[in-house]
Amino acid sequence: MATTADIKNGLCIEFNHGLYVITEFQHVKPGKGPAFVRTKLKNIETGKVIDNTFTSGHKITTARIERRPHQYLYKDDIGYHFMDSATFEQISLEEKLISGAPFLKEGQEVEVIFHAELEKALTCELPPFVVLEITYTEPGIKGDTATNATKPATLETGAEIQVPLFVDQGEKIKVDTRTGSYSERVK
């Protein structure tokens, strides 16, 4: 058990029958009345962000979560399969637990977040940026860069994103896995 004095960014707590990570907090001491802590809580399983206010001294239940490196192996009808880089144990996860699933490439390193007491996989996070090759896109027209025009491109994982007109088929690009958008070309 912890109190509101222990609140900090990144702390995982059990709240309303779910696991939440504190993304923002602010201690407030008004001139009249008791002090309180205003927080933004992100649900680990759904990703939904809620606002909540705790009175000062309120008891909160912390949850221990661990980030473990895993390697993506393959996808089948059961789900996505990963191997623990340290113990070589394999686990499978549903697509809804993986952030940025369309950008997963075989052999890619990811972090799987586990509830330490329950040994239950909660989510899987890809690195913020991944380098992928474009397998198909329409050819760009030279000199057509006066506007911020984009065109669709299919990546080696099968995902489709919008890229600038000057990017061609066969090039490697850096993709932001959080937003699913083009970042830059890679040499």
Q: Per CATH, which fold does 2-62 belong to?
A: SH3 type barrels. (2.30.30)
Output the CATH code of domain 129-186: 2.40.50.140
Q: Do domains 2-62 and 65-125 have the same CATH topology?
A: no
Per-residue pLDDT tens digits for 161-184:
999 888 889 999 999 998 999 999
For residues 101 and 170, give the distance between their C-alpha atoms in angstroms, rounded to a whole number: 22
The answer as to CATH 3.40.50.300 being correct for domain 65-125 is: no
**Domain limits, the chain:** 2-62, 65-125, 129-186
pLDDT band at 79 (very low <50, low <70, confident <90, very high): very high
Which class for 163: exposed (0-12), middle (13-18), buried (19 or more C-beta within 10 A)?
buried
Per-residue pLDDT tens digits for 100-113:
889 999 999 999 98
